[in-house]
Amino acid sequence: MIIRRNSKKKFIVIFTVILVLSVITVMSASANKITVEGGSTICKVGKTQVSIPTEPFTFKGQVYLPIDNILPPCGIDMGWDNDTSSIICKNKNKDVFLISTIDGSVTLNGEKKEYLKPVTREGIICIGEKLIDAISGYSVEVDKKITDEYKEFTFVGKSLEWDNNGKKCEMKTPCYLYGGNIYFSVDDVLPKIGYTLGWQDDIKAVVCVKNEDIIYIISQKYNVWVNEKQYIFETPSLIRDDRLYISGDMLEKITGGKVYKTGEFEIYYMRDLLENTTIDNKYRLAGKSVASGGGVTAVDGFGMEFIGISDTNAQNYAGVINAIAKAVPDVQVFNIAVPTASEFYAPLSMKSNQLNGIRTIYKNLDKNIVPINAVKPLYEHAGEKIYFATDHHWTQRGAYYVYAEFLKVKGLTMDPLSSFENKAGSGFVGSLAGFSKGSAAETILRSRPEIVERFIPKYATVGTVYEDMNMTKTLRIVNAVNTNTASYMAFIGGDGPVTAFYTDAPSNEVAVIVKESFGNAFATWALNNYKRVYVIDPRKFNGFGNVYYNKFNIATFCKNVGCNDLIMINYPGAISSGGIRQAILDMTK
């Protein structure tokens, strides 16, 4: 073949043009690519190296990247639309994309478009590769396989069916709620999403393995280990019917996915029948000085009443609480039996063993009633001022620790005691000095005035004492904590028939507390977690003592006020009193 001189020139020019266009095309293609690697937080936008705060992951077949980090290097202007809670993205073509952070919807120049929704992972909003391409014109290429996959799981209340990233699966046991968190059996869920389960005996943990990731779940603990990293949760894993349950929060951390729930679920409360609770002699007084009078014994200057709880009284009291629960079947009933100071501080030879009586009460309660272990938290803090030495009541500090235990059973956490304002008052000599009037015990107790700690609720409250259950006859206005009174009367103004508190607490729940005076200090703490709190003294109604003849019916009252939690709280003196037990029972009639 002969190529003429002019033809040669034309060929060279054409070849050069093709070569240049090829180079430009390659450069253009390279410039409009985002290159990512699995397990890496470094990617390339064109030829620019970019650091991203979370590794790329896949969701329903697409690669996802952090929107705030990946779009600006692509030349996209970003902003925020406060009216629609949407991210604004504008490209060089002046197209405007709105990405809703509420429902994940996407609009282009006002027209709704169908893209996979954004995903929030570790608090970072990420979008899929097709949406990235639509906004920026940049395609996503993967250099190293991405094994990290985001998934979504939806659980349906009181159903054995759940949605595993679009696939319907079955469980053997239903989910439930604890502390506002959804819980499900490890055996029902993790194998369905690719985890192999095992057991590591030395640390007593369930071991879950997938893609070389090793997860350790220790039963009834607040932590989960993923490889070498520990995560702490607000509620623990739980054992129920010999099965290990984990929370939705735990599953999200383990899988990197998102848990959704729909419908109504059973609410679970942890029951503690005190079977594993013990009291040793760590805080017991020596008993070198003992003086008695009027049913009061001053032991080394500490006044005490020695009140036992017989099996008969314990069983009868449990029967009364069961009757209350039957009267309010739609209300969750809690029972708190509070020991006296002698249980922790009396010399061993003098103590009356209230612990066994409380165990008997709790073992005889119907299963729909939730008992609260007051003994354990009080003993754990017995080195603090949890009881008065001159008065038969506990202190507000002691009541705090039991209230915190109550919230824990509900799956909630109480604010630290140190976070509450404490206005202490001095010079208090309490009821035990009066009970022992004229005796050596009185002389000892009156010589030892005490400090009264007064912790102020965090939320504004309005308190009113009413004479009747319909709350039409006002007796007085009261403060939740009266800092002008250095005595036990500082707490909700003492005993009233119905004391109603309206609070600014961030809650819609209503608590009704049925008590004798031990419940007064306890009630001050409830004002931090309930929108309304009603404190009822059964000794002020239904003919008690042939004095108080106003009628009170617990079922009618709870219905009228929309009660969520009915808390029955008493100390051994009330538990062992046939008159007070009858007064509580009369509330069911």
CATH number of residue 231's parent domain: 3.30.457.10
| C-alpha dist (Å) from residue 368 to 179, 333, 570 | 17, 8, 19
> From CA 150, how far away is CA 56, in angstroms rounded?
10
Identify the domain containing residue 111 by its residue range.
37-144
Shared domain for 53 and 130, answered yes or no, is: yes
| C-alpha dist (Å) from residue 470 to 88, 474, 476, 553, 584 | 55, 10, 15, 10, 18
Paired strand residues for 182 = 177
Amino acid code (one letter) for 387: Y
> From CA 362, how far away is CA 337, in angstroms rounded?
9
Q: Does 22 reside within a domain?
A: no
Shared domain for 248 and 325, answered yes or no, is: no
Long-range pairs for 552-555: beta carbons < 8 A, 24 or more residues apart: 552/469, 552/497, 552/586, 552/587, 553/469, 553/587, 553/588, 553/589, 554/324, 554/327, 554/328, 554/512, 554/514, 554/587, 554/588, 555/327, 555/328, 555/588
H helix or E strand, kind and range, residue 9: helix 5-31
H helix or E strand, kind and range, residue 63: strand 62-66
Shared domain for 294 and 199, answered yes or no, is: no
Strand order in the sheet with 302-304: 290-293, 296-299, 302-304
Domain end, chosen from 98, 115, 144, is at: 144
Shared domain for 106 and 230, answered yes or no, is: no
Shared domain for 182 and 140, answered yes or no, is: no
Shared domain for 434 and 539, answered yes or no, is: yes
Q: Does 295 reside within a domain?
A: yes
Buried/exposed 178-193: b ≥16 CB within 10 Å, e otherwise: bbebbbbbbbbbbeeb
Q: Does 561 reside within a domain?
A: yes
> From CA 164, how far away is CA 57, in angstroms rounded?
18
Shared domain for 109 and 167, answered yes or no, is: no
Residue 363 three-state SS: helix
Shared domain for 399 and 532, answered yes or no, is: yes
Nearest to 510 by CA among 448, 563, 470, 560: 563
Residue 89 three-state SS: strand
> From CA 74, how far away is CA 71, in angstroms rounded?
5
Shared domain for 457 and 378, answered yes or no, is: yes
- pLDDT attached to residue 17: 44
Cα torsion 358, 360, 363, 369: sign: negative
Q: Tell me the pairing of strands 161-164 and 167-170.
A: antiparallel
Domain end, chosen from 121, 144, 167, is at: 144
Shared domain for 168 and 117, answered yes or no, is: no
Q: How many domains does the chain contain in total?
A: 3
Domain end, chosen from 144, 162, 196, is at: 144
- pLDDT attached to residue 28: 46
| C-alpha dist (Å) from residue 265 to 160, 183, 184, 240, 424 | 12, 10, 11, 16, 44
The one-digit pLDDT tens for each residue of the chain (589 residues) are: 444 445 555 544 444 444 444 444 444 445 799 999 999 999 999 999 999 999 999 999 999 999 999 999 999 999 999 999 999 999 999 999 999 999 999 999 999 999 999 999 888 999 999 999 999 999 999 998 998 899 999 999 989 999 999 999 999 999 999 988 999 999 999 999 999 999 998 888 999 999 888 999 988 899 999 888 999 998 899 998 889 999 999 999 999 899 999 998 999 998 999 989 999 999 999 999 999 999 999 999 999 999 999 999 999 999 999 999 999 999 999 999 999 999 999 999 998 889 999 999 999 999 999 999 999 999 999 999 999 999 999 999 999 999 999 999 999 999 999 999 999 999 999 999 999 999 999 999 999 999 999 999 999 898 999 999 999 999 999 999 999 999 999 999 999 999 999 999 999 999 999 999 999 999 999 999 999 999 999 999 999 999 999 999 999 999 999 999 999 999 999 999 999 999 999 999 9
Q: Does 18 reside within a domain?
A: no
Q: Does 280 reside within a domain?
A: no
Tokens of 456: 């102020």
Place of tokens 């002699």: 281
Q: Does 569 reside within a domain?
A: yes
Tokens of 389: 């030495």
Q: Does 440 reside within a domain?
A: yes
Place of tokens 């943990």: 205
Paired strand residues for 36 = 142
Shared domain for 177 and 55, answered yes or no, is: no
- pLDDT attached to residue 568: 98
Rounded to two decimals, the pTM is 0.82
Q: Does 126 reside within a domain?
A: yes
Tokens of 353: 């063993």
Shared domain for 520 and 397, answered yes or no, is: yes
- pLDDT attached to residue 204: 86
> From CA 391, how far away is CA 582, in angstroms rounded?
26
CA angle 346, 351, 353 (to 5 degrees): 130
Separation of first and last alpha carbons in the chain: 117
Nearest to 251 by CA among 301, 316, 182: 182
